[in-house]
Amino acid sequence: MLAPNTKVDKKDAKLVLANMIWVAFALLIGGTAGLLQTLVRSGHFELPFGIGYYQLLTLHGVILALVMTFFFIMGFQIAALSRTSGPLNKKERTLGWIGFWVMTIGTLMSATMIALNEASVLYTFYAPLQAHVIHYIGLALVIVGTWISVAGQMMRYFRWRRENKGQKTPLLSYMTAVNNLMWYVCTIGVASTVLFQFVPWSLGLVETINITLSRTLFWYFGHALVYFWLLPAYMVWYAVTPKILGAKGFSDNLARLSFVLFLFFSIPVGIHHQLVDPGIDAFWKGLQVVLTFMVIVPSLMTAFSMFAVFETYGRNKGATGLLDWFKKLPWTDARFVLLFIGMLFFIPGGLGGIINASGQMNQLVHNTIWIVGHFHITVGAPVILTYFAAMMFLLPHLTGRKIDKIANRLGLMLAYTWALGMGIMSAAMHFAGLRGAPRRSTFSEYGGAEVAEEWITYQVMQAVGGSFLFIAIIIAILLFLKLVTGPKVNDVEEFPVAEFMDQYDPAVKWVDNWRLLIIITAFLVLIAYTVPITQMFTENIPGAKGFKLW
Residue 272 CB, nearest distance to Cu ion (Å)?
5
378 near ligand HAS, rule: CB under 6 A: yes
CA atoms of 455 and 185, how far apart (whole Å): 41
Binding residues for Cu ion, total number by CB under 5 A: 1
Q: Catalytic residue at 227?
A: yes
Report cis status (omega within 30 of 0) of the bond before 128: yes
Which span sits near ligand HAS by CB under 6 A: 96-104, 130-138, 176-184, 378-386? 378-386
Residue 63 CB, nearest distance to Cu ion (Å)?
21
Q: Which does 383 bind (CB under 5 to 8 A by kind): ligand HAS, Cu ion, none?
A: ligand HAS
Contact 79, 395 (CB under 8 A): no
Binding residues for ligand HAS, total number by CB under 6 A: 33
Q: Please, what's the b/e burial string for 289-309 (b: 16 or more CB within 10 A of its CB; e: otherwise)?
A: bebbeebeebbebbeebbebb
307 near ligand HAS, rule: CB under 6 A: yes
Q: Catalytic residue at 83?
A: no
285 near Cu ion, rule: CB under 5 A: no
Report cis status (omega within 30 of 0) of the bond before 87: no
371 near ligand HAS, rule: CB under 6 A: yes
Residue 226 CB, nearest distance to Cu ion (Å)?
6
CA atoms of 27 and 24, how far apart (whole Å): 5
Contact 525, 185 (CB under 8 A): yes
Q: How many CB atoms lie within 10 A of CB 475?
A: 20
**Residue in 264, 401, 439, 529 annotated catalytic:** 439
CA atoms of 53 and 34, how far apart (whole Å): 11
- Looking at the Cβ atoms of 75 and 96, the one nearer to ligand HAS is 75
Q: SS3 for 500?
A: strand
361 near ligand HAS, rule: CB under 6 A: no
Q: Which does 287 bind (CB under 5 to 8 A by kind): ligand HAS, Cu ion, none?
A: none
Residue 343 CB, nearest distance to ligand HAS (Å)?
4
292 near ligand HAS, rule: CB under 6 A: yes
60 near ligand HAS, rule: CB under 6 A: no
Q: How many CB atoms lie within 10 A of CB 530?
A: 11
297 near ligand HAS, rule: CB under 6 A: no
Q: SS3 for 209?
A: strand
CA atoms of 69 and 27, how far apart (whole Å): 10
Binding mask 113-152 toward ligand HAS (x if CB under 6 A, else -) reads: -----------x----------------------------
Which span sits near ligand HAS by CB under 6 A: 128-136, 159-167, 241-249, 301-309? 301-309
Q: Catalytic residue at 366?
A: no
Among 114, 377, 379, 425, binds ligand HAS (CB under 6 A): 379
Which span sits near ligand HAS by CB under 6 A: 70-78, 313-321, 355-363, 477-485? 355-363
Residue 357 CB, nearest distance to ligand HAS (Å)?
3
Alpha carbon distances (Å) from 516 to 250, 409, 455, 521, 522: 26, 47, 51, 9, 10
Which span sits near ligand HAS by CB under 6 A: 25-33, 86-94, 297-305, 531-539? 297-305
Q: Catalytic residue at 374?
A: yes
Q: SS3 for 544?
A: strand
Alpha carbon distances (Å) from 69 to 11, 23, 27: 22, 7, 10
261 near ligand HAS, rule: CB under 6 A: no
Q: Which does 344 bind (CB under 5 to 8 A by kind): Cu ion, ligand HAS, none?
A: ligand HAS
Contact 490, 442 (CB under 8 A): no
Q: Which does 522 bind (CB under 5 to 8 A by kind): ligand HAS, Cu ion, none?
A: none
- Looking at the Cβ atoms of 3 and 171, the one nearer to ligand HAS is 171
Q: Catalytic residue at 159?
A: no
Among 83, 256, 273, 397, binds ligand HAS (CB under 6 A): 273
Alpha carbon distances (Å) from 388 to 104, 339, 376, 412: 22, 8, 15, 11
Helices 334-357 and 282-316, axial angle in degrees (round to 10): 150
CA atoms of 17 and 72, how far apart (whole Å): 10
Residue 288 CB, nearest distance to ligand HAS (Å)?
9
Q: Catalytic residue at 215?
A: no
**Residue in 227, 250, 265, 431 annotated catalytic:** 227
Contact 357, 293 (CB under 8 A): yes
Restricted to residues 312-351, the positions that interact with ligand HAS (CB under 6 A) are 326, 343-344, 346-347, 350
Which span sits near Cu ion by CB under 5 A: 215-223, 247-255, 328-336, 341-349? 215-223
- Looking at the Cβ atoms of 15 and 390, the one nearer to ligand HAS is 390
Among 223, 248, 402, 430, binds Cu ion (CB under 5 A): 223
Beta bridge partners of 366: none
Cβ neighbours of residue 443 closer than 8 Å, sequence gap 6 or more: 452
Which span sits near ligand HAS by CB under 6 A: 134-142, 303-311, 394-402, 446-454? 303-311
Under DSSP, the state recorded for 321 is T
Torsion angles phi and psi, residue 481, rounded to 5: -65, -40
CA atoms of 227 and 236, how far apart (whole Å): 14
Contact 298, 262 (CB under 8 A): yes
Q: SS3 for 248?
A: coil
Reference 349, options 423, 416, 275, 413; nearest CA is 423
Contact 109, 118 (CB under 8 A): no
Q: Catalytic residue at 123?
A: no
Q: Which does 78 bind (CB under 5 to 8 A by kind): ligand HAS, Cu ion, none?
A: none
Active-site positions?
223, 227, 374-376, 439-440
Residues that bind ligand HAS (CB under 6 A): 124, 226, 229-230, 272-273, 292, 295-296, 299-300, 302-303, 306-307, 326, 343-344, 346-347, 350, 353-354, 356-357, 362, 366, 371, 374-375, 378-379, 383
Residues that bind Cu ion (CB under 5 A): 223
